[in-house]
Every structure is written in structure tokens, then in C-alpha cells.
């Protein structure tokens, strides 16, 4: 069963977010009390390019299974450390197609794409960037730092909430960086 392991938010633009007992998602905006909440893009690098872009990165989800894998390689990473709002377990986030709707608690999220890992990850844990951004056998970049989503229905989300997956109509489009 897919479920929420932890939730986190941060009102400031910092790399890591603070775990909390629950978060509230606001339709069309993101996580209440989080620096990345907004209808238009809130990530500083994206704002510098074009502040009128729609915010396709309202909620960041990351798999606890990645933390397990990183721990085996000597990296201690806890929920919220990599800036995610929702840490999941039991769901292949990176394998979901674009447009998948996730039901979590009272909320609904639509998956928009992959998080593009940045150099800040190496500042957090030296060498970690090479673990979450790799080259595939064909030379293409493989991004493993979670997925991004927009809030289509608001509501509270807490650890222990079940996650339901509603795939879009075929053909399924692969996730790309957003």
C-alpha cells in the first residue's frame, strides 16, 4: 500500500524543509505556509527567467525508498532534507506518467514532471548530486530527486495517509523535468 511517511514545509527559500504533523494543500497554489506556494513560479531560478510562468512545482514528492538506497551508500537523508513536501513509501513515483492524479488524504495532486536536481544538493551532502542525477545506458540524464505536482483539490495531508493513483488516459507521457 502506498502511503505518506512524512510531510514538510518551510516559509523561507532554504534547501531543506521542516517536518511537521500535517500540511494543508491549497488548490491551484501549493502548500500553505511554504515558500514555493503560488499560482506562478516561485523557485528563484525560474522567477529570474520569467516570473509569469505557471507554477508546475507547487508540491515536491520524494520516495523514502531513495533514502534507504542512499543510506546503504553512506548518506544520511531524512524526510524534508531534500526539500520535499511529501515523503512517500510504496509508490514508484518516477515511473508515473505525466498527468497522473494522486489522492492523498482530502487532497488531489496532478503530477507535472520530475524535479531537476541542482548543485545545492552537493552543498547539503557532498557527492549526493551524482546519486540523484545519473547517466542512463544510452547517455541520457536520469533524474531521481522526486517528482513535482500541482494541487487540483485542496485538503490536509498527514503521515499515514493512504495514496491512491489514478492514471491518465493513454497514451501515457513520460515525466520530463519541470
What is the average pLDDT across 123-127?
A: 91
φ, ψ at 147 (rounded to 5°): -125, 165
- pLDDT (tens digit per residue) in 56-115: 999 999 999 999 999 999 999 999 999 999 999 999 999 999 999 999 988 999 999 999
d(CA 40, CA 159): 28
pLDDT in tens, 1-37: 999 999 999 999 999 999 999 999 999 999 999 999 9
> Which of these CATH numbers, 3.30.1360.170, 3.30.420.300, 2.40.33.20, 3.40.50.1820, describes 3-166?
2.40.33.20
Mean pLDDT on 128-145 = 93
Question: Cell 522526486, residue?
Answer: 146
pTM score of the predicted model: 0.96
The rounded distance, in Å, linking the Cα atoms of 104 and 82 is: 20
Kindly list the domain boundaries of the chain, sorted by start residue. Answer: 3-166
Whether the predicted pLDDT of 119 surpasses 90: no
pLDDT digits (tens, 9 = 90+) for 143-154: 999 999 999 999
- Report whether pLDDT(46) > 90: no
Quick check: 126 pLDDT over 90? Answer: yes
Q: What is the model's pLDDT at position 94? A: 97
* pLDDT more than 70, % of the chain: 100
Given a cut of 90, is residue 117 above it in pLDDT? no
- Which of 19-23, 49-53, 57-61, 167-171 is least confident? 49-53
At residue 133 the predicted structure's pLDDT band, cuts being 50, 70 and 90, is: very high
Amino acid at each position: 500500500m502506498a502511503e505518506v511517511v512524512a510531510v514538510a514545509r518551510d516559509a523561507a527559500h532554504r534547501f531543506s524543509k521542516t517536518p511537521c504533523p500535517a500540511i494543508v494543500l491549497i488548490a491551484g497554489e501549493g502548500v500553505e505556509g511554504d515558500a514555493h506556494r503560488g499560482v506562478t513560479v516561485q523557485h528563484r531560478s525560474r522567477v529570474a527567467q520569467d516570473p509569469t510562468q505557471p507554477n508546475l512545482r507547487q508540491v515536491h514528492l520524494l520516495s523514502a525508498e531513495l533514502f534507504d538506497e542512499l543510506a546503504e551508500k553512506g548518506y544520511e537523508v531524512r524526510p524534508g532534507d531534500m526539500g520535499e513536501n511529501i515523503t512517500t513509501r510504496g509508490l514508484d513515483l518516477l515511473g508515473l506518467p505525466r498527468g497522473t492524479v494522486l489522492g492523498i488524504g482530502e487532497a488531489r495532486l496532478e503530477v507535472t514532471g520530475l524535479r531537476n536536481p541542482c548543485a545545492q544538493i552537493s552543498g547539503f551532502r557532498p557527492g549526493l548530486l551524482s546519486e540523484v542525477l545519473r547517466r542512463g545506458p544510452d547517455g541520457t540524464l536520469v533524474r531521481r530527486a522526486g517528482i513535482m505536482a500541482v494541487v487540483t483539490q485542496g485538503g490536509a495531508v498527514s503521515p499515514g495517509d493512504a495514496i491512491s493513483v489514478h492514471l491518465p488516459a493513454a497514451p501515457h507521457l513520460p515525466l520530463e523535468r519541470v
